[in-house]
Amino acid sequence: MLKTFDLVLIGVMTAAAAVTYTIKHRAELKLEEVHRLEAEIKLEKDTIDLLKADWALQSQPNRLERLVNAYNAELQLQPTESTALVHAKELPMLKSEVPVPDVTEAKASAKGATVASAKGAGGAAKAQPVPTPAPRAGVEQHGVVEDEADEIETGSVE
């Protein structure tokens, strides 16, 4: 009977050793993957730093001035006036951001204007027409119509 018990314990110990080895092997593979990803991240950060340094060299004012002087005949560049620069908040809204008027208010104001003009009562109650958005020729994606005029591309680095 002792031999059977010993054999069961040896089997349990062997199974536990196999499970432990499997877990250790998976942990080592995950650690290698983490090191590989860290190396990729470091490479990407180094590339970004290199590109920023290259941009700083390419956009130096004295270099740009030399280029403007060298190619002035072909390009005919003119200095930008300070009044031509605006901030992003000063730009008009995109077509997609224009609020859509409430249909009930539009009907009520139209009825009020019709009644006021029919009665000839001018002055006190002037109804202003509610602007309605023009139909847009765009593509509908996810329930939102996108127009090509709404797509703004900038050359900013950030």
**Residues whose CB falls within 8 Å of the CB of residue 81, separated by 6 or more in sequence, listed in order:** none
pLDDT (tens, 9 = 90+) of the chain, 158 residues, equals 679 999 999 999 999 999 999 999 999 999 999 999 999 999 999 999 999 999 999 999 999 889 988 998 898 888 778 777 777 777 777 777 777 777 665 565 655 555 555 455 444 445 556 666 555 555 454 455 544 444 555 555 54
Helix (H), strand (E) at residue 140: strand 139-141
Nearest to 133 by CA among 148, 115, 117, 145: 145
pTM score: 0.41
- What local confidence, expressed as pLDDT, does residue 150 receive? 47
Which residue type sits at 39? A
